[in-house]
Amino acid sequence: MPVMPLEYQVFDPSQCRFPRPRVPVLPRGLDLSKADDASLQQSISPLTGVGSHYSRGRYALGEAYRRAGVGCDGALLAPSYHCVTMLDPALALGAEVLLYPLTADLAPNLVELDALVSCSVKSIKALLATHFFGFVQDFSRLKQWCDVRGIAFVEDCSHTLFFDRYQAKGAGQYGEFIASSPYKFFPSADGGWLYTRNSTSHPVAETQPAGWLAELRGMKQCLDGARQPRLVFGDIANLDGQLSALADQAPQTGKDERRLRSAHSSQYLSDSACTAALRSSRWLINHSSLCVTIERRQANYRRWLEAVAGLPSCRALYPELPEHVVPYMFPLYIEHPMPCFYWLKQLAVPVWRWDEMAISTCSVAQDYRLHLLHLPCHQSLSDDEMNWLVAALSMVLRKSVVGVCR
């Protein structure tokens, strides 16, 4: 049976000519101070068991889907709000993907999930559930729902601290398969991890080690990242003039269009599906300071919360940071993506959003696609860099309100 193509809504920014971000969106540098102390107990716990290494989380997800039976005859249930790399591996297996709706805080909507499954003609083999932005969710009812229907539960821990040695509190307790992306938490060149609870009838695909050239490139990437020039305090003073110049020009809007696709995106490389993570990445991840990673991420997240509390036309998606959460990014809902997103990008602020997304009936996903910004809060941000990020966001949001009120 041919695969139903998915229709995507894609924002194409190529006409906008956005500059390279002035601050890295992911950690960089080498913070190898080993300081595992008692405060770690609150946020993480040691992990026992076996896992396999991949170069990215998407390939770990791909192996989980394959072993769960996702393919030409077995569909995948995935969250409506997603990054394309969460669906790519299923499309690479020739599988159909059904998108289930989410509530405003990005929890799966169980009632609508039931309705979706009852309409499906294909047998559903796996469900992907994500702890978005590191905020660990209680998936116990969802796991039960899967168990009753014989659907494999794939727990997406890509936004949580979950790797060889440790797991963030609460993460990884539900999945038959648990996939993570440790390179999002540590300054390594790559890193994806798959942890399997139960063996399935599908044999494990062996991974191949990366070649020495790739190892050397990975090490160079880390060293280059550590040497990149840092922003300094004086850069804040320039923001006002830069923003005024931008506000005087007509913004280049970019293209936002629908595209049909039945194959995976170019971000999924089939040749890399069975390549193991670089040895240097694994070493770096295992020798990075967890205390620094956790404490600085939490402090930067709180800094964002304080900063946005008095700002117009925006709200933090998660306005509380529980003690055990190690945040991946700071998700911020903005009312006016235009001009705010455009100005932030032109100021070279490292802001992400999932503006390429398969279309679903979920109004939350549709709304968040352009309105939900992902702002960095990683441990490598210096105080000057955080001050610059906060200043840029504050100025942009205030200026956008003046423009709207005029």
Alpha-carbon distance of 193 to 165, in angstroms, equals 11
Judged by CB under 6 A, which stretch of 51-59, 137-145, 206-214, 273-281 contacts ligand PLP? 51-59
Strand pairing category for 74-79 and 123-130: parallel
Options 52, 130, 137, 221; binder of ligand PLP; rule CB under 6 A: 130
Alpha-carbon distance of 54 to 88, in angstroms, equals 15
Taking the least distance from each CB to ligand PLP, the nearer of 181 and 400 is: 181
Closest CA to 193 of 318, 285, 103: 285
Alpha-carbon distance of 368 to 201, in angstroms, equals 38
Count of residues for the chain?
Answer: 406
Q: Per rule CB under 6 A, is residue 57 in the interface with ligand PLP?
A: yes
Residues 4 to 43: which contact ligand PLP by CB under 6 A? none
Options 66, 67, 125, 159; binder of ligand PLP; rule CB under 6 A: 159
Options 9, 43, 160, 181; binder of ligand PLP; rule CB under 6 A: 181
Shortest separation between residue 2's beta carbon and ligand PLP, angstroms = 26
Taking the least distance from each CB to ligand PLP, the nearer of 57 and 376 is: 57
Taking the least distance from each CB to ligand PLP, the nearer of 25 and 246 is: 25
Q: Per rule CB under 6 A, is residue 86 in the interface with ligand PLP?
A: yes
Strand pairing category for 314-316 and 192-196: unpaired
List, as one string, the DSSP characters of 44-58.
EEE--S-EEEESSHH
Judged by CB under 6 A, which stretch of 67-75, 139-147, 151-159, 392-400 contacts ligand PLP? 151-159
Residues 188 to 217: which contact ligand PLP by CB under 6 A? 192
Alpha-carbon distance of 50 to 333, in angstroms, equals 38
The per-type count for the chain, helices as H runs and strands as E runs, is 12, 15
Alpha-carbon distance of 212 to 265, in angstroms, equals 27
Q: Per rule CB under 6 A, is residue 124 in the interface with ligand PLP?
A: no
Site residues, ligand PLP (CB under 6 A)? 56-58, 83, 85-86, 130, 156, 158-159, 181, 192
